[in-house]
Amino acid sequence: MKQPANSPRCSKTPRRGQAKATALVITTISSGRSEFSAFQPDVTCSPGQKSEEACMYSEQSLENLPTIDANKARDLVGSGHNYIDVRMPEDFDKGHAPGARNVPFYLSVTPQGKEKNPRFVEEVAALCAKDDTFIVGCNTGNRSRFATADLLNAGFNNVKNLGGGYRSFVQSENQQPAPQQ
């Protein structure tokens, strides 16, 4: 449920030197009627106080994202669901989940900042329909949370964030029992 505009976490008008972020609203269908839930991001951030992503998405909103563990991701990939890897191409090329498709969330990451891919949602839409079930992963699960939030906001209904990212996927693979012969 969206918090009222006068709650302590919200501000109708940002103070000087603050940025204002927009709430992400997710629509779900349940029992034949629409239900609305909202990710309530921090709506104001002072420059230098938090990263750009933290200004756009609060920890509380990111905790409410549909997230799966590596074993569930492995099951979904094994049954033919897409895996969208949002890491940079050079990281993707070093290793990725079987059948994963690379759609970088960032175009560049430098000490001066991160340049978000302005066509990210459009590029994912070229690979996945809005009703497809698919996984979004990065290296550790942080960047993929932001990507998952953007995709949910764009109307993708069944996107799942891979908690722990590709690292957890590799670790779960290493812990799989040896095949029976």
The residue annotated as part of the active site, out of 45, 55, 128, 138, is 138
Cα maximum dimension of the chain: 68
Residue pair 148/159 in contact by the 8 Å Cβ criterion: yes
Tokens representing residue 75 in the block: 């099951």
Query: How far apart are the C-alpha atoms of 62 and 59, rounded to whole Å?
Result: 5
Angle between helices 142-153 and 165-174 (to 10 degrees): 120
**Is 128 a residue of the active site?**
no
Residue pair 119/131 in contact by the 8 Å Cβ criterion: no
Query: How far apart are the C-alpha atoms of 24 and 149, rounded to whole Å?
Result: 8
Q: Which residues pair with 160 in a beta bridge?
A: 135
Give catalytic residue positions.
138
